[in-house]
Structure 1
């Protein structure tokens, strides 16, 4: 619940953004961290606190959240719900993993587990039947993908395999509408709905944020789909490179020289690209052939990602869709990391290049694209 004025926030003691949205996201992250801490240390007090959070938020009648978002994202003096509230539930996938840890340790009894699944079934029913849910489902950008993240993770939790597979297949179909694959080489892989609005109008206020959220949503879905036999990273190849790999190459600023959205320069945490850089290198064979690019507009501490994932931050902002301790369990090969090609000179910002240099840059990008296609074909022939 939001309040339009500073006075109203002071009156209700809701300064520092202490809204239901913030309480929800902090509850999800704190409960996830507590469950992981129990899993790693065996300490029962961590699990008991996490279970108490779950009971308070979902089960106790006096404190629980209703299984809908009818009143989400309402402003003071404006009672019309907005779609963004559904998007704020995007991190539910990590909470459900935490709940599974608690259930395996019997920190939630059988009756509580049954009630939790009933709650999430009711929430899914509201998402699928409400006007708010239907509009979010049809969102053409990262919000639509995060809708699928919610549906797939919840369907898996409540053991609805048919629904889980349906939404996984539906999410894969989104790839064709969200990633350009039939344009010239310069725009191949563009996450068009994160950068442009309909009619070609540029939407650059937060396109850095939008692109990283879109790829993060796809990365989450790929992990959810892997257990169900759906390989999103290999879906819809164009020139032997999948749609998602094309998008990763186009968006992630360590694979090529590109510009940044002006409004995001001082506010965006570039290290949020690091987990996606690792993920793309794991699944996209062609990007491993390139030297690591340094874009000069990035913050100095973000320009060179550590080769060891355990040298990267374990946690990010609680609204950035990256699970806490996301890198636990990742394999690290020091010998392979030592041979990773790294660029030794920063690439100039595109905004600083003249027209002639831009033309050369476009030609170079096309050359790199062609090289990537050829490399992918050689790798596929070698693996055949």
Structure 2
């Protein structure tokens, strides 16, 4: 009899959880619908701009290669024409970031169109999204090569670095947007297959190239972002073996090695921008759990032997996001006044842990940030396509 009662209790709890998720999604639509349709109308007016539209004489790559320069590297005042030097946390505004901006714009367009399609079912959004997707991944004249060999280069130091792989976190909402739209009548099957082949090729490069492996083995937010974006791309490609390996990595490497027992991220707290980096890494961990969790392997509920979990990470940082004045460390050296915004960990945490006050905090913050540095560090800006 006790087993029967327990069974019904568990079923009831599951139904309540699913009901709460529906409530959060409905509230999210209510909050975002007007902005989603406004953004989609903007996106419908935009023409594709890919990496082939602009180039830098400092790039060692070709026309189709993504190129960017490392943010925190500057000319050496003692040797102005020599190799750049590092100034952690201080962004050099003169570095080449046109390709990164084009990719962020691309993610904004696809995220907006996919969100509007999800709300309305109108195929016009899919048709225009496909135009952009083909430009980036299909058309030979404008496509981007599926690697990041020349990302975050440093003058006089490196033609490209593994750290630059973090730039493609902005392809995550492109991949998720494709998942939302792929069954639409306007999405040509052959184009879809070619696009998925591009993501499969890039996923392979991320797992087998020297830069990809180095990024995977890094110890801070870079490795978390590697897991996060590979998870997103593998999900699009239905690569179950890769998804399984990423779940293992989260439980055995990312969570135990990056999080402290109090839920903080010590490597992020040690940076010159501890507040912003802590938020950024928690967002990444949250999306890892969201993308990779299944009924059989729910990362939201996973806890290490010493008590580390995504729930503990959120509960550690939430008070400082809800009330920034409680932050006990020094302010970030740059962009201190721009954080927080409507962080992904708030809405997805609320959705999975039934925390209405987390959702309320999310909707009270800036839902559409305009600061370029903030946008660069918030790759998930269209939550409806993920819920």
Q: How is 1:235-254 mapped onto 2 (pairs within 5 angstroms)?
A: 235-236=302-303, 242-252=308-318, 253-254=320-321
Judged with a 3 Å threshold, the aligned counterparts in structure 2 of structure 1 residues 255 and 51 are, in CA distance, closer, same or farther, namely closer
User: What is the CA deviation profile of residues 331-373 of structure 1, one whole-angstrom value per residue up to 9, with x for unaligned ones?
Assistant: xxxxxxxxxxxxxxxxxxxxxxxxxxxxxxxxxxxxxxxxxxx
Match of 1:93 in 2: 172
* Structure 2 alignment gaps of length 5 or more: 1-66, 76-92
Separation (CA, whole Å) in 1 of partners of 2:180 and 2:384: 18
Judged with a 3 Å threshold, the aligned counterparts in structure 2 of structure 1 residues 56 and 274 are, in CA distance, closer, same or farther, namely closer
User: What is the CA deviation profile of residues 182-235 of structure 1, one whole-angstrom value per residue up to 9, with x for unaligned ones?
Assistant: xxxxxx222112123xxxxxx3x1111111111101111111122463322222
Q: How is 1:87-166 mapped onto 2 (pairs within 5 angstroms)?
A: 87-166=166-245
Match of 1:189 in 2: 263
Separation (CA, whole Å) in 2 of partners of 1:275 and 1:99: 20
Judged with a 3 Å threshold, the aligned counterparts in structure 2 of structure 1 residues 254 and 90 are, in CA distance, closer, same or farther, namely closer
Asked if 1:177 is matched to 2:234, the reply is no
Separation (CA, whole Å) in 2 of partners of 1:236 and 1:133: 28
Separation (CA, whole Å) in 1 of partners of 2:274 and 2:286: 18
1:144 Cα deviation from its structure 2 partner: 0.6
Asked if 1:318 is matched to 2:375, the reply is yes
Match of 1:10 in 2: none
Separation (CA, whole Å) in 2 of partners of 1:307 and 1:229: 30
Asked if 1:271 is matched to 2:328, the reply is no
1:254 Cα deviation from its structure 2 partner: 5.0
Separation (CA, whole Å) in 2 of partners of 1:328 and 1:63: 26
- Equivalent residues of 2:111, 2:385 under 8 A apart: no
1:145 Cα deviation from its structure 2 partner: 1.1
1:250 Cα deviation from its structure 2 partner: 2.5
Separation (CA, whole Å) in 1 of partners of 2:312 and 2:113: 37
Judged with a 3 Å threshold, the aligned counterparts in structure 2 of structure 1 residues 172 and 38 are, in CA distance, closer, same or farther, namely same
User: What is the CA deviation profile of residues 122-180 of structure 1, one whole-angstrom value per residue up to 9, with x for unaligned ones?
Assistant: 11221111110011001111111111112222222112111111112212221111111
User: What is the CA deviation profile of residues 274-328 of structure 1, one whole-angstrom value per residue up to 9, with x for unaligned ones?
Assistant: 543454455568x99xxx9xxxxxxxxxxxx883755554434532334233267
Separation (CA, whole Å) in 2 of partners of 1:223 and 1:179: 18
User: What is the CA deviation profile of residues 29-72 of structure 1, one whole-angstrom value per residue up to 9, with x for unaligned ones?
Assistant: 21111222233234433322211110001111111001111122
Match of 1:27 in 2: 106
- TM-score w.r.t. the length of structure 2 is 0.66
Separation (CA, whole Å) in 1 of partners of 2:177 and 2:154: 32
- Equivalent residues of 1:315, 1:322 under 8 A apart: no
- Equivalent residues of 1:146, 1:217 under 8 A apart: yes
Separation (CA, whole Å) in 2 of partners of 1:18 and 1:230: 39
1:23 Cα deviation from its structure 2 partner: 0.7
CA RMSD of aligned residues (A): 3.3
* Structure 1 alignment gaps of length 5 or more: 6-13, 182-187, 197-202, 293-304, 331-384
1:244 Cα deviation from its structure 2 partner: 2.1
- Equivalent residues of 1:145, 1:214 under 8 A apart: yes
